[in-house]
Structure 1
Amino acid sequence: MHVEIFGNQQLSAVLFLHGGPGESCYEFVYHQAKRLSEIFHLVAIDQRGVCRSEEINSTEEFGLRDLVEDCEELRTQLGINKWAVIGHSFGGYVSLLYASAYPDSITKVIFECPTFDFSWTSKSLLRRASSVFLSLGDPNKSAECNSLATSDLQSKELFDQYLRLGEELGEKKAEIYRVNNLTSIDYSAYTDEEWELFADRTEIHLNRLREEGRMFESIVPLLTTLSVPSMLILGEADPVTCDSHIQAYDQISNGNKIMVDNCGHTPHAERPDLYGLIVSTFLLSDK
């Protein structure tokens, strides 16, 4: 598994879990590693089978639970007693599972634009995709997105339909997730051929999780069992953490919530300075 470690190991440890399924910690590290490593012992990973991590082969057993167990095994191998966890998007889903399974290993959890229910998220993404199709002059695809968003399809079917329609948007798919102030990022650390190889690995990771199906189970009920302090970081224009997620999070007793304005799905990249301040202030506080 690809692991990146920053900052003095005597500082409080923080684990970052990326989204997707199948994104990477590359973008987060690019924008946040220097900022956060001045205050924390930061650990960031490409989850099993993703991007720079070793490819999952066809005979290897792999499922959602492995992502949780990988976190705990990594903590043990690094000799970290406890750490805080930051989970972005699908990483928020994994973070909640991890905190629920191993509460004694975790000090605090930050959920950055998370999903806890793929049905809720898929419907919200479809509604946003509808708006993008309409802006591109395709009312038929726009109507199809809206129809799916109000349907009774199961979580996996909704997610698969969103993936299909998102692919049809091509580069315009980014408009679903972000506002126009995205901070630039340099991808030249790897060649185009290497990025293509990373994408192939990521596709295997995603498909194996889809086939297993456990990621489509709502884990919203776990929120009220969370025993460590947490924070929900929201992007003002983020479609992933929809109103249903926010209302569910509001039911927990030890939760904090903050909205980042002029921002979409990736506050760590769109508002990096503010994000670093929010994260460090919360993790260093007594709350």
Structure 2
Amino acid sequence: MKYLYSFLLVGLLISCARPQAISTFPATKAHLQDGEQFYTINGLKHWVKVKNSQQQTTPVVILHGGPGGNNYNFERTAGPLLESFATVVYYEQRGSGRSEAPKNPEDYTLPMLINDLEVLRDSLGAQKLVLLGYSFGAELALRYALAHPDRVEKLILSDPAELSRSNMLVQIQGFYSLGDSVVKTGIDKILKDTTELEEKYGCVWGLSNSALVDRFLFVNQEIAARNREMWKESKLVNTGLMAKVYIKNNKMDLVEKATGLPIPTMLISGVYDRNGGLHTALELKKVLPNSTIKLYENSAHFPDMEEPERFAADIKAFLSGK
């Protein structure tokens, strides 16, 4: 695949056993201090950056998308606005961004990612976390909350794009709606072949050039251009390995599993999100009894970049209980 920001690669790998949890830091609040450092979690160095620890609020942990993305862009857009009123913890998942990759390329299963996050919570000395996940990070946040509901104070799920079969179809439809005659003809041909949906999905992404992907992910093309500039300046690469493992091993429907979860949750979605986030957010709103939804009229998949001031204001109000 050419473009790795959301769920962009398809492949087959087999998961392996979860390693024993290891942290280089004991559970003490003395370690919730500003700055960048690496936490050794399950034998891998994970990049962590803490900002505004003097607020002494429940840490807001930022979970990036991908799978296999990073927080570089978020740190430079919505992130500073959140830091003005909350203790923010930027965290990059195993093999993502500035974090160390496992030697075994199969070690990217959801149970491993959930366990990594639990070890991080313990290492930060936090009894509870506020989880702010965007795109795939929203799914990881919700799945962690399902596994450890007593450890999550609140959930903020921004464009929660689970890579389900229905969301694959939503994405394919999105590309078709935006594509020119060449793209539309190519998609028509792909959909008529006898391959599995996952392979069709990958082929559709392969048809898409950078301009089409930008229109798919953003309403404002100036912001899309700035997004690409930050990708380049970060020098961070998504290998696609996590996405391959995810697609092979994830058999649990997110909406079905989340039904009835009582944790206070704010769902955020751009109304032009063709990446599946709007579809998933609307479905989650139906099954989460203590949830609210915010729709952003000038955004697609990244309202944190297209409407950052409103994004931060909504989160501030949600955290304060307003």
| AA aligned opposite 1:246 | L
* Counterparts of 1:284 and 1:145, CA distance in 2: 49
Shift of 1:254: 0.6
* Counterparts of 2:143 and 2:311, CA distance in 1: 24
Structure 2 CA distance for partners of 1:255 and 1:22, relative to 1, 3 Å: same
Comparing 42-51 with 172-181, greater Cα deviation is found at: 172-181
Number of aligned residues = 271
Instruction: Decide which of 209, 218, 229 is 1:170's aligned counterpart.
Output: 209
Instruction: Decide which of 300, 304, 307 is 1:268's aligned counterpart.
Output: 304
Q: Which residue of 1 aligns with 2:273?
A: 238
* Residue deviations 1:182-226 (CA, integer Å, cap 9, x gap): 5335538957xx43xx33xx3223233334x22x43121222231
Q: Which residue of 2 aligns with 1:7?
A: 52
Instruction: Decide which of 230, 235, 240 is 1:187's aligned counterpart.
Output: 230
Q: Which residue of 1 aligns with 2:7?
A: none
Q: Which residue of 1 aligns with 2:122?
A: 76
Is 2:88 the counterpart of 1:36? Answer: no
Superposed, 1:1-287 pairs within 5 Å as 1-9=46-54, 10-58=56-104, 61-116=107-162, 118-133=164-179, 135=180, 137-144=182-189, 157-171=196-210, 172-181=212-221, 183=223, 184-185=226-227, 187=230, 190=233, 194-195=235-236, 198-199=237-238, 202-211=239-248, 213-214=249-250, 216-239=251-274, 240-243=276-279, 245-285=281-321
| AA aligned opposite 1:231 | M
Shift of 1:54: 0.8
| AA aligned opposite 1:97 | R
Structure 1 stretches of 5 or more lacking a match? none
* Counterparts of 1:137 and 1:61, CA distance in 2: 38
Structure 2 stretches of 5 or more lacking a match? 1-45
Structure 2 CA distance for partners of 1:60 and 1:43, relative to 1, 3 Å: same
* Residue deviations 1:34-69 (CA, integer Å, cap 9, x gap): 111111110111211112111221377441111111
The alignment partner of 1:225 has SS state of coil
The alignment partner of 2:141 has SS state of helix
Contact 1:234 1:241 survives alignment (8 Å): yes
Provide the TM-score with structure 1 as the length reference.
Answer: 0.85
Shift of 1:147: 5.8
Structure 2 CA distance for partners of 1:118 and 1:60, relative to 1, 3 Å: closer
* Counterparts of 1:72 and 1:244, CA distance in 2: 25
The alignment partner of 2:288 has SS state of coil
Report the identity percentage: 25
Higher helix share: 1
Contact 1:82 1:107 survives alignment (8 Å): yes
Structure 2 CA distance for partners of 1:255 and 1:271, relative to 1, 3 Å: same
